[in-house]
């Protein structure tokens, strides 16, 4: 049950691609073992705990890898290039766009963010489960290229709780927090575009929920028996 939020929209429907089932039991087992990777999209308003949840997921599941985004914003205290983000100049980011290297890109709080498409495709081909921590704009772009991706939206317990978290974080001025809260309301309006919506009001429970979503996605029949050649190409 989603508390504190009124989410009114039609459920996003997956349109699974036709699959051909292997003919024998041995073929079915081999197909399950060779299943391709799964692409997960995790979105949330700033301060909802998305990054902490994803880090906990990676510790609990060795098959999960997080895509490191490219961004034009300056590093925050404690952030390491290549680990938290690939920090690039605006000119470098624009060159990546021109070369078609970005799976998705978005302008957030005055800075550009983007995901490397070649890296994502190579990891999925190797059977890894990839998590993209991106906003709703980027999620919409990814779904057009990877219609079988799994979207998870993380909600804070309430807007008031979100404001408290942002203030306790101590990283932003009052006007920046106000802008983030407004952006959070706009982001939450897109929650129903995702396959799963979860509330991070108890961290341990939220981690369990996220792990369960990942495990269930790997066991989908369509994924295990798929004979598709790869993700949608534009």
Using one digit for the tens of pLDDT, what is the confidence trace for 186-203? 999 999 999 999 999 999
Domain total in the chain: 1
Helix (H) or strand (E) holding 9: none
Per the domain annotation, does 182 fall within a domain?
yes
pLDDT of residue 68: 96
Collapsed DSSP state (helix, strand, coil) of residue 24:
coil
Per the domain annotation, does 71 fall within a domain?
yes
- CATH number, domain of 150, equals 3.40.50.300
Q: Rounded to 5 degrees, what are φ and ψ at 100?
A: 70, 30
pTM: 0.78
Per the domain annotation, does 230 fall within a domain?
no
Per the domain annotation, does 19 fall within a domain?
no
Per the domain annotation, does 130 fall within a domain?
yes
Per the domain annotation, does 227 fall within a domain?
no
- Judging by DSSP bridges, how do beta strands 86-87 and 39-43 pair with one another? unpaired
Question: Model confidence over 20-64: pLDDT tens digits?
Answer: 555 566 655 555 556 679 999 999 998 899 999 999 999 999 999
Range of the domain at 92: 34-222
Per the domain annotation, does 85 fall within a domain?
yes
Per the domain annotation, does 137 fall within a domain?
yes
Q: Going edge to edge, which strands form the sheet with 86-87? A: 86-87, 70-71, 111-116, 102-108
């Amino acid at each position: 049950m989603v508390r504190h939020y009124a989410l009114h929209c039609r459920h996003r429907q997956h349109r699974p691609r036709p699959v051909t089932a292997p003919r024998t039991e041995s073929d079915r087992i081999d197909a399950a073992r060779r299943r391709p990777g799964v692409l997960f999209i995790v979105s949330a308003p700033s301060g909802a705990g998305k990054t902490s949840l994803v880090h906990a997921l990676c510790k609990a599941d060795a098959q999960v890898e997080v895509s490191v985004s490219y961004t034009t914003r300056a590093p925050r205290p404690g952030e390491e290039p290549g680990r938290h983000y690939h920090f690039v100049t605006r000119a470098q980011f624009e060159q990546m766009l021109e070369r078609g290297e970005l799976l998705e890109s978005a302008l957030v709080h005055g800075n550009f963010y983007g995901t490397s498409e070649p890296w994502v495709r190579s990891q999925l081909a190797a059977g890894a489960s990839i998590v993209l921590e991106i906003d709703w704009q980027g999620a919409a772009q990814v779904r057009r290229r990877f219609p079988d991706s799994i979207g998870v939206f993380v909600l804070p317990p309430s807007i008031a709780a979100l404001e408290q978290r942002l203030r306790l974080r101590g990283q932003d001025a009052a006007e920046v927090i106000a802008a983030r809260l407004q952006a959070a309301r706009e982001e939450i309006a897109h929650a129903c575009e995702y396959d799963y919506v979860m509330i991070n009001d108890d961290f341990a429970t939220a981690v369990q929920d996220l792990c369960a979503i990942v495990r269930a996605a790997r066991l989908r029949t369509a994924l295990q028996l798929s004979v598709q050649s790869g993700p949608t190409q534009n």
